[in-house]
Amino acid sequence: MTELEKGPTGSRRGRGARERIISASQQLFREQGINRTGMNELCAAAEVSKRTAYQHFTGKDELVAEYLRRFDPSVLSGVFDRTDLTPRERLLAAFDISPDTPLCPYIAAAVELHDPQHPASQYARDYKKAVAARLADTAREAGAADPEQLGEQLALLIDGAAARTRVLDADAFPTAAAIAAVLIDNALPATAGHNRRREGVSS
């Protein structure tokens, strides 16, 4: 029928045009930005006919939203589910996204789309809240006095590092990690379970 929910695999019949489109969007939207990437260009890169693209997505807006939804590639779960680390180490590991990451696409989308009502903007909000929540969970696990506050604070540090990295074109995550270490040490009761040799936590 018209709607058959062909499933995330997309490999029911054709040659998987949908996946190619999304894959191309991941590349182009990140490299060039959303507004600077036209549908013509995107379809060409995906080696997909324009008509096909508009049979999978009602419009660019929907594609953009899907582009954001298909992101998280373990960036979130890949950090928080590491059982080899203590909760405290996991909190700090969230700042090790150092390698090359261009910029948090959620911030970029919110700025580029400029419309809080846009589906993608709404998803960006949800995602940011989810990250803060997981940070809070981990903070609670680590025994923080006020886990929600610490989670929100660490989330702000991550966003600050992302924004600053973008504007200054220089990695700001080490600075954010240093702040995080201070905040964590301040929020956690001084249990001797982990050797905390941070400097200068005077107060």
| Contact residues: its own copies, CB under 8 A | 32-33, 35-36, 103, 106-108, 110-112, 114, 116, 121, 124-125, 128-129, 145-146, 149, 152-153, 155-164, 166-169, 172, 175-176, 178-179, 182-183, 185-187, 190, 200-203
DSSP characters for 124-144?
Answer: HHHHHHHHHHHHHHHHHHTT-
Per the listing, tokens 């419009």 go with 59
Does 13 bind DNA (CB under 7 A)? Our answer is yes
Rounded CA-CA distance 20/23 in Å is: 5
Per the listing, tokens 């940070």 go with 135
Q: Are 131 and 80 in contact (CB under 8 A)?
A: no
| Residue closer to its own copies, measured from CB, 36 or 82 | 36
Q: How far is the CB of 162 from its own copies (least distance, A)?
A: 7
Q: How far is the CB of 132 from its own copies (least distance, A)?
A: 9
User: Which of 27, 31, 38, 186 is close enough to bind DNA by CB under 7 A?
Assistant: 38
Per the listing, tokens 């580029």 go with 112
User: Which of 27, 31, 50, 81 is close enough to bind DNA by CB under 7 A?
Assistant: 50
Per the listing, tokens 């919110």 go with 110
